[in-house]
Structure 1
Amino acid sequence: MRKNIGIFLLLALSLPLFSLEVKGVRYSCSSSKARVVLTLDSYPYYRVEKEEKTLKVYLPGYEGEDKKITFPNSLVSSIRLVSQPVSFLVEVNTTRPFQYQIFRLGSPERLVIDIFFRNLSSINIRKVVIDPGHGGKDPGAIGWGGIKEKDIVLKVALYLRNFLAQEGLEVYLTRRSDVFVPLKKRVEFANKIGADLFISIHCNSSLSRRACGFETYYLSEALDDHARAVARVENSVVKLENPVEKWKLTILEDLSLLEFRKESILLAQLLQEKLDACLPTPNRGVKSALFYVLKGVHAPAVLVEIGFISNPWEARMLRKSYFQREIARCISEGIVKFTWKIALRENETL
């Protein structure tokens, strides 16, 4: 937030001494979408603040006519246009949560603000499978103070299920209690129900107590020793399966690797972006490795390592319900952003 305010003030100070003008404002509202179009003097810079039911767009250096437009019996309750000392404010108030996009058009210069109200269940991505790693006889990593990976990731998964259900998505879990589920059964479950997304949740561990932070993986060759080590640990669960699954390691030949690679990378990037915005722990980035649980999933699939339970401070945080809920909220926001990006890419008229 401080960084955004600093950039905004820098832009305001660098603008010409004379005011720029908002020459015109057009707006429309329907049952699923609202649009505000500002016709401007020149190429616009802007800053955005979003709350659950309010969007504020600030244009530094601009001035225009103050106005308030109300929409009775509409999902958009009002649009306010306000000239402030150093900026022009467009405020859109809604009666329910929303998504938005802002883009610029030229000749003449325009700024377009779109508000969307479509329920996520009405777009292409509807079914999300959440995979809490390990379970039952497989505790996963055991960290500081005896904390078990299988317990932490299940709690995060249950919070995540609730957040996604509130967005209108169909949510399925590969396990809902402390039971052992073979890796191959998790993949088969996702494919059987026709999953549109697959999110596997895990905790990291390291010989170094200093290692900390979160990272998200997609299916591909590992590019460093750490990624290979993480995959080796998570894949070792096959030794507990009865009978032991004979996994073929020709993963690069698997069609799922190529078919959903681009979408999986995008999903991983968005999850890291959202986690980075709200967690105090380091962002370790998007990585790739050959995880068995991602092999063969017929959908974009990622594995999220939410933190290191081998780090004493991070282990204490991972035990706390509010921190588990915050992780789930961040992952949910990343998934929602991904669904909208895919929908907007495939349907320009959404």
Structure 2
Amino acid sequence: MSLRCRVIFTAFILLLLPILAFESAAAQNTIYFNNEDITDQISSTVVEGEFLIKATDLADLLDIDYNWHPSLKLLEMETDGVEVKLMANSRFIQIRNNNRNDAIRTEAGLVLIDNQAYIPLAKTIEAFGYLLEFQRDSDELYIFQPDTTINNIEWKEDGNQLNIEMDEISPYRVLQSDDGREIIIEIDKAEVNREFSDNVSNNNFYLRVVNVPDRALLRLVLRSRNPIPFQIDGGVYEYSGEDSDTLALSFLPQLKRVSIGDDNFFNIEATGDIPQADINYLSDSNRVIIDIPSLVIGNYEKDLRDNPLIKDVNVTQHSLDPVILRIEAQLKDNQIMQAVDNSEDRQSSILSFRKGEQSEISNLEYAAGKITFQSQSSINPDNFLLSEPPRLVVNLLNTKRGANIADKLEVDDPLINSIRTARFDNDTVRLVADLHELTGYNWHEEKKNGVYNYTISFQNKFSSIQSSEDEDFQNLAVALTGNPDYEVKKFTHPHRIVIDVENTIDNISELDLPEKGSLIKDIRSSNYVIEDREVTRLVFELDEYYNHRVNESDQGRVINIALSKHDDVLDDIKEMPERLIVVDAGHGGFDPGAIGRAGLEEKEPALAISLKIAELLEAEGQNVLLTRDKDEFLSLQQRVRIANQSGADLFVSIHSNSTNNPEVGGVETYFNHNNTEYSRRFAEKIHDKLSRNLGLVDRGLKNDNFYVIRYTEMPSALVELGFLSNPEEEALLKTDEFRNKAANLIVDGVLDYIRENGGR
């Protein structure tokens, strides 16, 4: 979930703090010390706009030793190794702490009134390790002892995690600036250890530690040369040790180095695991484009020593939403480079390429809309479609034909007439698929037992949709030109039978649709994205639903669906099982989550929608456990522990999104593929309801590593309902109408899943 809040930064100038914080104090403010009203116990005044307190009163308040030297008009105060000296007619406070001496300028300094010494409260009390908070709306001044001490801040996991070690976790907020280059961690009632040293700042990051006296908090400001993709919902963790607690912020891996090794391999190295890259070869310009998701540009090294493969490399942060790093390599002298298999002897944080070797292709075949062949080494294809006549041309670079590759392969198929192969030049084999008409295709490489297997899958089309009826069933027959990968699903509210077909063109508008019959209300289609896979969705909306079954025929090219017309036709109708669902309202308490431009905090609609979801599910006979039912803070670990220890059947977490661009909006639903095999299906049911009926842009169903859906032990989903950074969607999230609508749609998705899967 990367989430960003608009933050207005105020520069707190050290010398002006007393004026800013205490100018109003002349009107005899109410003063609290450790939450006790001490207004009547002290004498105070304002001089030069600075709030002063009687020195003896402060000494009694803090239980510190003091000594007054009348001849020098010098005041000495000391406790726990801290010594403070002030002298009349001097604006400076001298502080000695652990053999370190500091002199801090004030506006008034020590002032004698009726032979009594009055000293600046703010600077003096801070020297002794106390914190101040001034609430201007109520003219109340609070003096606190710190609740926690920051002992150390350092990078872990090769710069992918920032650990903040403190005595114990105190209320905190994590915010991000508009440009994404600054993260602010505010920790309430915290101080920095007197021996603290900066182990964070480097040539890419700069850390500032700012005390905010009039708010009694510590602000850690981390500034980067580059945008910092950071997800508030998934990137903050807490760890408890024997002597201290750690607040950890996890960042996406950064590019660390692009280089040529001693073996002349071209290596791309990151500070963490490198995900699957999208690699495109541009033969006309002899370039390779490598797009790596979830990788940040960072402050990387570039070492392209003299080598036979690469002339130059250009690195850019191609996109931040989604995060994609682009590496463009210019090759030498028409060279070809091949990705090195990431086997066990190579690190997952390194993506390597080597000089291409000439491959020999073999076993060219065609079946059910797919061309397949094999090679002993990886092949870099150059593919394009031509329209007159329609054909797909595949240039297999740096290859030769094996003995069993024929010049021509005749094909009797609705998609293809024939497949031809020929030597195009000394380094290239050309494969041509003669098509009946232009269609899309996909290229797939798979290595198995040391052999590279290649598949060119042509996109199917719907060839017909037919309907027939008898006494018990309305029968649907959906025919396609090829053998498709598909899934038939049932949705409710309204009742719908849905067929999701991969690698298929949506040509329903070109077909003669059948009569709707006794059960079907409407037939429609659309393109849809599931887990980054594009599918064509064929929808049969029903007036009534009793049950259905699915059969295949004609080598899978026809999908037969029998719709029951009566309750007693099929014997596998299932009643709604009773399940335990954990509903998790994101953030809470001192953690507001994302903050909208008009001030709406994510935690508030998340709780309201979660409470409504619980009410609706219980009305449907389901058991519900809320991780929180009020405005309180729970760590991510606590939320997961609640779900796992309860033995829950399902888990859904409610959030709202944020980004730098106020025009971005929409709804997203997340699952984690490492959770359970059913999580994708559960999230899909919820997202189908939201994407079609909530009225927001559909940003898709996505796989991600959010903590609460990664470590829960039951099917889990995390929903991002709109963007608080979008003013229109922030306004919607304030309304009961939108909240109730979102809750009803999520409940519909949950119940659909339970009906079909029994809550597994």
2:667 paired residue number? 214
Change (3 A) 1:21 1:296: closer
Partner of 2:575: 118
Residue 585 of structure 2 contacts residue 628 of structure 2 at CA under 8 Å; is this kept in 1?
Answer: yes
Distance 1:314 1:102, change over 3 A: same
- Change in Cα spacing, 1:100 to 1:198, as seen in structure 2 (3 Å) is farther
Tell me, in whole angstroms, the C-alpha distance in 1 between the residues paired with 2:588 and 2:491. Answer: 41
In the TM superposition, 1:11-26 aligns within 5 A as 22=469, 24-26=470-472
1:263 to 671, 678, 687: 678
Question: Is residue 2:699 matched to residue 1:284?
Answer: yes
AA aligned to 1:268 is: A
- Of 713, 718, 738, 1:298 maps to 713
Amino acid at match of 1:189: I
- Could you tell me how far apart the structure 2 residues matched to 1:324 and 1:314 are? 11
Letter of the 1:162 counterpart: E
Matches of 1:157 and 1:317, distance apart in 2: 16
Q: 1:134-182 CA deviation, whole Å, 9 max, x = no partner? A: 1111111110211010001001101111121122211110000001111
User: 5 Å matches for 1:218-237?
Assistant: 218-219=671-672
Equivalent residue, structure 1, for 2:752: 337
What CA distance in whole angstroms lies between the structure 2 residues aligned with 1:216 and 1:49? 17
Residues 51 and 338 of structure 1, relative CA distance in 2, 3 Å threshold: closer
Aligned with 2:583: secondary structure?
A: strand
Candidates 629, 639, 654, aligned match of 1:201? 654
Q: Give 1:51 deviation, angstroms.
A: 6.5
Contact 1:44 / 1:111 at 8 angstroms: preserved in 2?
Answer: no
| Counterparts of 1:282 and 1:169, CA distance in 2 | 30
Contact 1:15 1:61 in 2 (8 A): no
Structure with more contact order per residue of length (Cα contacts < 8 Å, sep ≥ 6): 1
Q: Does 1:130 align with 2:588?
A: no
Amino acid paired to 2:609: V
Q: CA deviation at 1:268?
A: 1.6
Give the whole-Å Cα distance in 2 for the aligned partners of 1:283 and 1:110.
29
Contact 1:190 1:297 in 2 (8 A): yes
Shift of the 62–284 alpha-carbon distance from structure 1 to 2, 3 Å rule, reads closer
1:43 to 1:305, Cα distance in 2 relative to 1, 3 A: closer
What SS does structure 2 have at the residue aligned with 1:201?
A: strand
Secondary structure in structure 2 of the residue aligned to 1:202: strand
**Mapping of residues 67-106 of structure 1, within 5 Å:** 100-103=546-549
Q: Relative to 1, partners in 2 of residues 1:188 and 1:21: Cα closer, same or farther, differing over 3 Å?
A: closer
Tell me if 1:320 matches 2:735: yes
Question: How far is the alpha carbon of 1:62 from its aligned partner?
Answer: 7.9
Q: Per-residue deviation at 1:192? A: 1.3
Structure 1: gaps (5+ residues): 1-13, 27-36, 64-80, 83-89, 93-98, 221-256
DSSP-derived class of the 1:138 partner: coil
Aligned residue in 2 for 1:177: 630
Q: Distance in 1 between matches of 2:744 and 2:561?
A: 34
Relative distance call for 1:188 and 1:60 in structure 2 (3 A) is: same
- Contact 1:149/1:202, CA 8 A, preserved across alignment: yes
Secondary structure of the residue that 1:261 maps to in structure 2?
A: coil
* Structure 2 Cα separation of the partners of residues 188 and 308 of structure 1: 28
1:128–1:172 contact (8 Å) kept in structure 2 = yes
AA aligned opposite 1:315? E
CA contact (8 A) 2:668 2:699 kept: yes
Give yes or no for the alignment of 1:140 onto 2:593. Answer: yes
Secondary structure class of the residue paired with 1:144: coil
Superposition deviation, residue 288 in structure 1: 2.2
Q: Is the contact between residue 217 and residue 287 of structure 1 (CA under 8 Å) also seen in structure 2?
A: yes
Of the two, which has the highest radius of gyration? 2
Match of 1:246 in 2: none
Tell me the SS of whatever aligns to 2:728: helix
Task: Give how far 1:343 is off.
Answer: 3.2
Partner SS state of residue 168, structure 1: coil
The answer on whether the counterparts of 1:133 and 1:153 sit within 8 Å (CA) in structure 2 is: yes
Q: Give the deviation of 1:189 after TM superposition.
A: 0.7
Q: Which amino acid aligns with 1:153?
A: A
Give the corresponding residue for 1:190. 643
Moved more, 313-322 or 280-289: 280-289
Secondary structure at the aligned position of 1:262 is classed as: coil
- The residue that corresponds to 1:272 in the other structure is 687
The answer to whether the Cα contact below 8 Å between 1:127 and 1:197 also exists between their aligned partners in 2 is: yes
The 1:21/1:301 distance shift into structure 2, 3 A limit, reads: closer
SS of the counterpart of 2:606? helix
Q: Shift of the alpha carbon at 1:297?
A: 1.1
| Structure 2: gaps (5+ residues) | 1-463, 480-489, 497-512, 520-541, 554-559, 568-572
Q: Does the CA-based 8 Å contact 2:667-2:700 persist in structure 1?
A: yes
Distance 1:212 1:101, change over 3 A: farther
Deviations 1:271-302 (A, max 9, x none): 11110121111111112222222232111112
Q: Which residue identity does 1:164 align to in structure 2?
A: L
Pair 1:50–1:300, CA change in 2 (3 A): closer
Across the aligned residues of Structure 1 and Structure 2, the Cα RMSD in angstroms comes to 3.7
The structural deviation recorded for 1:61 is 3.7
Shift of 1:219: 2.4
State the TM-score, normalizing by the size of structure 1.
0.59
- 1:29-40 aligned at under 5 Å gives the runs 37-38=473-474
Q: Which residue of 1 aligns with 2:397?
A: none
Amino acid of the structure 1 residue aligned with 2:563: V
Change (3 A) 1:149 1:43: closer
Any idea what the Cα deviations from partners look like across 1:176-211, whole Å, max 9, x if unmatched? 000111111111111111011111111101111011
Spell out, residue by residue over 1:68-102, the C-alpha distance to the aligned partner (whole angstroms, 9 max, x if none).
Answer: xxxxxxxxxxxxx69xxxxxxx965xxxxxx7543
CA distance in 2, matches of 1:15, 1:203: 40
Structure 1 residues 315 and 51, CA, compared in 2 at 3 Å: closer, same or farther? closer
Report the count of equivalent residues: 241
Percent identity of equivalent pairs: 32
C-alpha displacement of 1:261? 3.5
The question of whether the paired residues in 2 share the 8 Å contact of 1:132 and 1:150 is answered with: yes
CA distance in 1, matches of 2:492, 2:650: 26
One-letter amino acid matched to 1:279: L
CA shift in 2, pair 1:210/1:338, >3 Å: same
Aligned in 2, Cα 1:61/1:49: closer, same or farther, shift over 3 Å? farther
The one-letter amino acid of 2:575's match is R
Q: Secondary structure at the match of 2:590?
A: coil
Residue 160 (1) aligns with residue 613 (2): yes
